[in-house]
Amino acid sequence: MMHGYWTGIGFLAITLAAAVLASASADGDTAGNSLKGKKVAILVTDGFEQVEMTEPRKALDAAGAKTVIVSPSTGQVKGWKHTEWGDSFPVDLGLDAASADQFDALLLPGGVINPDKLRMNPKAVAFVKAFVGAGKPIAAICHGPWTLVEADVVKGRKLTSWPSLKTDIRNAGGLWEDKTVVVDRGLVTSRKPDDIPAFNQKMIEEFAAARPKVSAGK
């Protein structure tokens, strides 16, 4: 995101939350929310807010999930750190070769550039819509819900986001709330990086509660 809301307190909270999750995983105990055997797609393209991908991914990995970066980009995708370009990350699976059938859940990081590009990509929109159609859980943070709006899947659902998306969400029939984290029928949403600890906790709970729906042989 190109906003100056990142704070030292928020960073400390995220670091502590990640440490707790990692410790729990090492002890074989994730408070009944183990994601062992579950496969999570992380849909991004260049310009995703880096911490909104890396910190939730760490939490998912610590809970035993297999995380896969899916992207219309090839080779690598580049993150965004507050006001400048961040690090590059390898793409694990090209969007052209990806299907919702291959995964149990979906993570949609934010950033302004990333979801704006994804919502203009018909394959990315169809990929997201397929998760909803299959009843699979989705976690989206900050500007991430933009792609959900484009996929026309927010009608009648409670969710939150970066405040500038409020009107878009309401126009699409969504019930926007200004809360740290909102959960509605398998959809987990949060507003900004400072919300990541609460976002991660609810994301893992929802992903763990969902029955495995990966097609055989995937």
Instruction: List pLDDT tens digits, range 114-149.
Output: 999 999 999 999 999 999 999 999 999 999 999 999
pLDDT of residue 214: 57
Band of the pLDDT at 17, cuts 50, 70, 90? low
pLDDT of residue 211: 77
Q: Is 79 helix (H, G, I), strand (E, B) or coil?
A: strand
List the Cα angle 33/147/85 in 5-degree steps. 90
Q: Is the pLDDT of residue 63 over 70?
A: yes
pLDDT tens for 18-29 read 554 444 444 334
Q: 7 versus 140: which is more confidently predicted?
A: 140
pLDDT tens for 177-218 read 999 999 999 999 999 999 999 999 999 999 999 876 655 444
With left for phi above 0 and alpha for psi between -120 and 50, is residue 153 left, alpha or beta? alpha
- Distance between CA 197 and CA 96 in Å, rounded? 32
Within 8 A by CB and 6+ apart from 8, the residues are none
Q: 82 versus 42: which is more confidently predicted?
A: 42
Mean pLDDT within 41-52? 98
Catalytic residue numbers, as ranges: 142-143
List the Cα angle 69/6/115 in 5-degree steps. 35
pTM value is 0.84
